[in-house]
Structure 1
């Protein structure tokens, strides 16, 4: 990954974002240890999948496709109705890290994503523990 190359480009663009998000939600739905995380989402995950794909595309340095359709992300505000403590944060991170690994995202891009995901997930917490 070069200094000017975005994480989006480094991991493979929209195809890799789509693969990552699909694997993330598949793991969430299939793995029993992500049950609490899954229960926070609607039965039909298609809208959640689309929103995360659109958001991550811009967040990783690709085109902004989220805001024109859904407005400003307002991540924390949109998640305030949900109890997000350490357990929920850690389940989200474990699910995303496993999806990254299974999708072959590694090296510097993976390290940068892991750190950014950790910072963002921790910022989303609205419960002390």
Structure 2
């Protein structure tokens, strides 16, 4: 029986398949470039510098998709809904978030199957953060 060599696509995590840390950092950086100019989303970030928020999202996404566990090592369980509870996340915020994330995903030039898998997760995650009726 032929064994599949180590390191082949079947063994790689999504994180590895799409290019690892560099890909997720590019995604999140592009996303926050949009957020920085967004009149609805920008006020949700109390820090003057979006760098810490960018770092947290990059580390979370890397961990979620099979990369290093740096996020949990530093912040514990993600508890996304709890962490977003102090903010009013309505349909307009959801739509704005996805607009910037769509631009960021498109900028990566991923293979269609990876783009679809990533986008499906992001749309699910965005919908689950809504905590205020329109």
TM above 0.5: yes
Where do 5+ consecutive residues of structure 2 fail to align? 1-8
CA RMSD of aligned residues (A): 1.6
Q: Which residue among 36, 41, 59 is the counterpart of 1:37? A: 41
Matched, 1:7 2:11: no
Q: Deviation at 1:15?
A: 0.7
Question: 2:75 maps to what in 1?
Answer: 70
Matched residues, number: 126
Where do 5+ consecutive residues of structure 1 fail to align? none
Q: Deviation at 1:106?
A: 4.0
| Structure 2 SS opposite 1:109 | helix
Q: Deviation at 1:60?
A: 1.2
TM-score (norm 1): 0.89
Looking at CA atoms only, which structure, 1 or 2, has the larger radius of gyration?
Answer: 2
Structure 1 residues 90, 4: closer, same or farther in 2, change over 3 A?
A: farther
| Structure 1 SS opposite 2:132 | coil
Aligned partners of 1:105 and 1:38: how far apart in 2?
27
Q: Deviation at 1:105?
A: 2.8
What are the Cα deviations for residues 65-116 of structure 1, in whole angstroms up to 9, with x where unaligned? 1011111111100100000011111111111110111122341111011111
Question: 1:19 maps to what in 2?
Answer: 26
1:85-104 equivalences under 5 Å are: 85-104=90-109
